[in-house]
Amino acid sequence: MYNPELTPSPTLEIAAKAVLPTRFGKFEMFVFRWIDRATEPYGLSSEHVALVMGDVKGAYRVPVRVHSECLTSEVFGSLKCDCKEQLELAQSEIAHRGLGALLYLRQEGRGIGLANKVKAYALQANGVDTVDANRLLGLPDDARKYDVAAAMIQELGIQSVVLMTNNPQKIESLQALNIVVEGSSPVLAKTNPLSSRYLETKRTRMRHVLP
């Protein structure tokens, strides 16, 4: 059984890196391996990715997007959320600037894992929102952790960031982990009839800054 008092401190290492050509431009792709037994209850991956453009080492006010994996949207084209659109908007903006980092964290379903996320989808089909669906499953509203993102930013040598986010909690979490956040910029995706309620829940119940 998981006991945090007996768990060693997390460690971060660069497992691989290579140039990745994309339709937005060429990025340097880093695969980080994050060993943290605290993620084991939900079986989350230990591998996370940074897509980096430009010379970010020693740089200040670097545009950074901290993005959590969403298999349903990004791979299967789900219309229930705006995750794929946010990912692509951030990647496009970094390419436009020629400088920045997109940190892709493997924490599906706001950190509850894929199976729990799909269970929550089934509850949402009966009328509850994303927050109440998690609570009915006995899960946190948002189980994501950002210590791996902070460690990745430090490993890349970034001195301060402008965070590409609509979520104040991300800013607060990174600041609490000693990352200098000099500002933020919104990542606003178009809504559709199936995502509008999800986005409204983000705005009214999770403090996201959305129109």
pLDDT at 9 over 80: no
pLDDT cut 70: percent of the chain above it:
89
Are 58 and 157 spatial neighbours (Cβ–Cβ below 8 Å)? Answer: yes
> Which of 123-156 are b and which e, b meaning 16 or more Cβ less than 10 Å from the residue's Cβ?
bbeeeebbbbbbeeeebeebbbbbbbbbbbbeeb
Q: Hey, which residues are catalytic here?
A: 142, 144
Q: What is the pLDDT of residue 93?
A: 96
Q: What is the pLDDT of residue 123?
A: 92
User: Taking all residues of the chain, what is their mean pLDDT, rounded to a whole number?
Assistant: 87
* Mean pLDDT within 41-47: 67
pTM: 0.88
Spatial distance between the Cα atoms of 201 and 156, rounded to a whole number of angstroms: 34
Q: Give the pLDDT band of residue 39 (cuts 50, 70, 90).
A: low
In percent, the amount of the chain with pLDDT more than 90 equals: 60
Average pLDDT score over residue span 70-93: 93
Q: How far is CA 153 from CA 6, 59, 120, in A?
A: 27, 11, 32
DSSP characters over 2-67 = --GGGPPPPEEEEEEEEEEEETTEEEEEEEEEEE-GGGGGGT--SEEEEEEES--TT-SSEEEEEE
The residues that bridge with 67 in the sheet, in sequence order, are: 104
Residue 191 CA to residue 184 CA, distance in Å, equals 21
Cα 133 to its chain centre, rounded Å, is: 20
Ranked by mean pLDDT, which of 43-47, 126-130, 192-196, 198-202 comes out on top?
126-130
Whether residue 40 is predicted with pLDDT greater than 60 in this model: the reply is no
Band of the pLDDT at 42, cuts 50, 70, 90?
low
Size of the chain, expressed as the number of residues it contains: 211
Q: What does the angle CA 104 – CA 39 – CA 86 come to, to the nearest 5 degrees? A: 25
Q: Give the right CATH number for 4-205 from 3.40.50.10990, 3.40.50.150, 3.40.30.10, 3.30.470.20.
A: 3.40.50.10990
Confidence tier at 1 by pLDDT (50, 70, 90):
very low
Average pLDDT for 131-156: 91
Per the CB < 8 A criterion, the answer to whether 156 and 59 are in contact is: no
